[in-house]
Chain A
């Protein structure tokens, strides 16, 4: 038992991982940082766009065809751009926002822009599923549009919003793996630039295992929370 936990055991099966321990700590932190910050910003942005899409849609509580049409098309366009291309294409914009187009912080901008439209669609789908009749009942007792958004739509869709947030965060973790292309670092970068390029397979595998572990934790926590809030 003690031999399994001994460091020379790990050195024997994953020699490069042990040697690059600091790199792993650094890149894991980068992945978490990119996921958290861009997830938070994209979450707020996506939630806003999703809500606006629902209320301005035909038959919505604040129906507005031009707004809906423009947002809808924008979301479609940004969702269609492959992320690896988006990283490069928006570099000037990135420089404008964070002052640099290289590095972990620079990766936040494309990550946010890549993720927000995806999340907006997810939010839209969750809110559209709130029964039209419930909205009508709220209007009938004199609720204002803002009250309907906050006290009915977001409240009634909460379990679905949690589930779609989990899906979004997991896909965002996937996107962070590409951030290495613009020097963003992270576990994906470690797997490719060290593990793959130097034929150090144990590094690639370890990077994958850590990402899987993060995804697993997010999924389990999200499911638990969603189940607790769901009373349907």
Chain B
């Protein structure tokens, strides 16, 4: 991954407002975003959060109502007609529903961007198509039609098409949302590969945290048109501050289902004085310190491990551990203060409250289901 240089995409104070008959809708509100060359920048949020609108501002398929868009040093807001179309050729885009032309062969779909004004000769164009299809692993499908391909294959064709003009940026708008988990993994792998081999900058919109976790190095969380939290992947994952961010992270891990199980156990429900249920999460270096051993050595606190999980994000282990700590007097509190000092995120769980919260959520879900 390229080291941070000047931003290749810079969005400044972006507003997008849609005027409807009886009201105006602010789809994007005051968004600032910088994407550096070589980044795989994830933008997560539920549907309707404004993610798709925001990325369409990058290639100006959607004009902003306010703010400036700079891509590779060029202010796109000032461009129109031919110049804008020229700028767009340097920004590839792939879509949830692939958007391939049904009446053209796979080869002709990939060829399409080259028909619009490329100076290559006929022969060079065909060579380029072959090279691209090879890159996405579909060289043998050149003369097939999209209807004959699976979803994953269609998305590969769409990627090849998006790369035809050698763009520096690839925008992926929910590109894996219509695919099964295995195919999703393969497509994400391919994007990662393109990022590493071509130095392609990727902006990845998704509602699946799993996808972000798999390949992104940076992430922004969007809600109601605003970016509510952003940062590099590790920081966000090990130390989320916003409630929505936490929700997204939970959906991508097993921690909460494990916790829900644990709090139903009688021993956990009847914790005595000096006992505390905690979830520790840690990233990178802190995983190397013999923390659990120190709990006993330094504070005479006994850890009882209930569950644990380690994931590798950007080559860094990120761990989560569910424990019941027991000690005499304030020993547990002192120990937790020490643990927090070591850069480990401590989440104290009040079992009764947590169960009440779960019950409330379940009730809310039921209500939603019956409505």
Question: In the bound complex, how far is the Cα of B90 from the Cα of A141, in angstroms?
Answer: 8
| Chain A window 119-145, contacts with chain B (Cβ cutoff 8 Å), 1 for yes, 0 for no | 000000000000101101111111110
* Contacting pair A139 B103 (CB below 8 A): no
- With known contacts A141-B88, A142-B86, A147-B116, A155–B103 Cβ distance under 8 A: yes
Does A158 reach chain B (CB closer than 8 Å)?
yes
* Contacting pair A232 B88 (CB below 8 A): no
Distance from B82 Cβ to chain A, minimum over Cβ atoms (Å) = 8
- With known contacts A133-B99, A141-B161, A142-B89, A151–B117 Cβ distance under 8 A: no
The size of the chain A interface, using a CB distance under 8 A, is: 23
Question: In the bound complex, how far is the Cα of B263 from the Cα of A214, in angstroms?
Answer: 80
- With known contacts A134-B101, A155-B103, A141–B147 Cβ distance under 8 A: no
Question: In the bound complex, how far is the Cα of B101 from the Cα of A158, in angstroms?
Answer: 12
Distance from A4 Cβ to chain B, minimum over Cβ atoms (Å) = 48
- With known contacts A136-B61, A155-B104, A142–B113 Cβ distance under 8 A: yes
Question: In the bound complex, how far is the Cα of B88 from the Cα of A143, in angstroms?
Answer: 9
Q: Which of A138, A144, A232 sits near B103, CB closer than 8 Å?
A: A232
* Contacting pair B117 A142 (CB below 8 A): yes
Question: In the bound complex, how far is the Cα of B86 from the Cα of A138, in angstroms?
Answer: 13
- With known contacts A133-B97, A143-B116, A232-B147, A159–B103 Cβ distance under 8 A: yes
Chain A residues near B92: list those with CB within 8 A: 140-141
The size of the chain B interface, using a CB distance under 8 A, is: 31
- With known contacts A140-B61, A143-B85, A231–B113 Cβ distance under 8 A: no
* Contacting pair A142 B85 (CB below 8 A): yes
Central interface residue in B99, B113, B115, by most chain A CB within 10 Å: B99
Chain A residues near B338: list those with CB within 8 A: none
Q: Which of B86, B95, B164 sits near A136, CB closer than 8 Å?
A: B95
* Contacting pair B61 A144 (CB below 8 A): no
Does A26 reach chain B (CB closer than 8 Å)?
no
| Chain B window 75-116, contacts with chain A (Cβ cutoff 8 Å), 1 for yes, 0 for no | 000000010011011011101010111111000000011011
* Contacting pair B103 A141 (CB below 8 A): no
Question: In the bound complex, how far is the Cα of B116 from the Cα of A40, in angstroms?
Answer: 29
* Contacting pair B99 A158 (CB below 8 A): no
Does B281 reach chain A (CB closer than 8 Å)?
no
Among residues 188 to 207 in chain B, which have CB atoms less than 8 Å away from a CB atom of chain A?
A: none
Chain B residues near A143: list those with CB within 8 A: 85, 116
Among residues 175 to 232 in chain A, which have CB atoms less than 8 Å away from a CB atom of chain B?
A: 229-232
Does A45 reach chain B (CB closer than 8 Å)?
no
Question: In the bound complex, how far is the Cα of B112 from the Cα of A155, in angstroms?
Answer: 12
Q: Give me 20 A-to-B residue pairs in the complex whose CB atoms sit less than 8 angstroms apart, sorted by A's number.
A: A133-B95, A136-B95, A137-B93, A137-B95, A137-B99, A137-B100, A137-B161, A140-B59, A140-B162, A141-B89, A141-B165, A142-B85, A142-B116, A143-B116, A151-B115, A155-B101, A156-B103, A231-B145, A231-B147, A232-B147
- Can you add 15 more A-B contacts, CB < 8 Å, to A142-B85, A232-B102, A232-B103? A133-B95, A136-B61, A136-B95, A137-B99, A140-B61, A141-B112, A142-B113, A142-B117, A144-B85, A147-B115, A147-B116, A151-B115, A156-B102, A159-B103, A231-B103
A-B interface, 8 closest residue pairs, ranked by CB to CB distance from nearest: A141-B113, A133-B99, A137-B99, A142-B85, A231-B145, A140-B93, A142-B89, A142-B88
